[in-house]
Amino acid sequence: MNYDAGVGNASGVSGTICTSTVTPQITITNNGAETLVSATITYGFDGSLTQIYNWVGSLDQFEDETITLPAANPGSGNHTFEAQVSNPNGNPDENAGNNSVTSSFTTVGNGHTVDLELNLDCFGSEISWELQDADNSAVLYSSEPYLNNDNGNVVNVSFCLSSGCYKFVLEDEYGDGLSNNDNDCSVQQGSYTIEDEDNTELAGLTTAEANFGFDDEQTFCLSGVGIDELEKEAWMIYPNPADKELTIDMSALEGSKSIVVTSPTGQIVWQKTTTASQESMTVNALAKGVYFISITSPAGKATRTFVVR
């Protein structure tokens, strides 16, 4: 055959994409005997092939070239991409069997890239996890148990998430969390962190907290484009200073709220996830001093200080 242009290897339009804009790439191949100097690429999304890219170049037989098509915004959701090649050197293509390529993908508009770093102890076969929607416990991402390794193992996973609240559930079937007492194991306490695209820690477990038993659950929230600061009027704490009980008024905030109270050294002394408009925290068992209270909700994130006296 003299004229046989093929197309394949669609990239940039597969899997989950953490934005509503995509930039497709395809590979054009000359399978014909004649040098390929021009071809027409017709492409589009979700069955509507309305875009045309006129390729010009020089490919000898069996040579190929990667083409980057213009960026497009098909909107958030599930999509299919398709590209077709035709008119090699202005002639009919003599082999229609390699003239098209398709790919499926999902876009998340204003999505957040969230990274999990899980440091396993030696008994990875006991550990699995789920990332759930905090409102309905729907499982969005999950793992199978890992392999055992005398030197432990580091697992890195990226999630693409829209604005909202999520629950990370870490499970250990043996009941000693990410810890062990095996003298042959070089990693006896594991840990994990979940961070957003700004490297802000959203959830985590230190090595000192490794022995969590059978399961550890932590909730975090993402909002807007990045984490916006909540307006001061959106929530209140009182009394401040407090000696018995601290009231957290969140009546202006809708949806799930993640509340975390930390000491000046960064130790978490109280945390709760709630949809209620008001919560109370007992403080009379805390040492006197300054504490930090952070709230994360779909509307944003903010931190305040309060004093225990």
Strands 236-238 and 268-274: unpaired
Q: What is residue 264's predicted lDDT score, i.e. its pLDDT?
A: 61
Model pTM above 0.75: no
Q: What is residue 228's predicted lDDT score, i.e. its pLDDT?
A: 44
Identify the CATH class of 232-308. Answer: mainly beta
Q: Residue-wise pLDDT tens for the chain (309 aa)?
A: 999 999 999 999 998 888 888 999 999 999 999 999 999 999 999 999 999 999 999 999 999 999 999 999 988 778 999 999 999 999 999 999 999 999 998 887 777 889 999 999 999 999 999 998 876 678 889 999 999 988 889 999 999 887 778 899 999 999 999 998 887 888 889 999 999 888 888 889 999 999 999 999 988 877 653 344 566 567 889 998 899 999 999 988 888 888 988 876 667 899 999 999 999 999 999 988 778 788 888 777 777 778 888
Domain borders along the chain are: 5-107, 112-222, 232-308
CATH 1.20.120 is the classification of domain 112-222: no
Strand 5-11: give its sheet, edge to edge.
5-11, 25-30, 64-68
Q: What is residue 160's predicted lDDT score, i.e. its pLDDT?
A: 86
Q: What is residue 248's predicted lDDT score, i.e. its pLDDT?
A: 94
**What are the φ/ψ torsions at residue 7 (nearest 5 degrees)?**
-135, 145
Long-range contacts of 188-191 (CB under 8 A, 24+ apart): 188/121, 188/122, 189/121, 190/118, 190/119, 190/120, 190/121, 190/152, 191/119
Q: What is residue 253's predicted lDDT score, i.e. its pLDDT?
A: 85
Domain 232-308 in the same topology as domain 112-222? no
CATH 2.60.40.10 is the classification of domain 5-107: yes
Q: What is residue 18's predicted lDDT score, i.e. its pLDDT?
A: 84
Whole-angstrom distance, CA of residue 40 vs CA of residue 54: 5
Q: What is residue 229's predicted lDDT score, i.e. its pLDDT?
A: 53
Q: What is residue 226's predicted lDDT score, i.e. its pLDDT?
A: 37
DSSP the chain: ----EEEEEEESSSEEESSS-B--EEEEEE-SSSPEEEEEEEEEETTEEEEEEEEEEEE-TT-EEEEEPPPB---SEEEEEEEEEE-GGGS--S-GGGSEEEEEEEE-TT-EEEEEEEEE-S-GGGEEEEEEETTT--EEEE-------TT-EEEEEEEEE-SEEEEEEEEESSSSTTB---TT-S--B-EEEEE-TT--EEEEE-GGG---TTEEEEEEEE-SSS-PBPPGGG-EEESSSBSSEEEEE-TT--S-EEEEEE-TTS-EEEEEEE-SSEEEEE-TTSPSEEEEEEEEETTEEEEEEEEE-
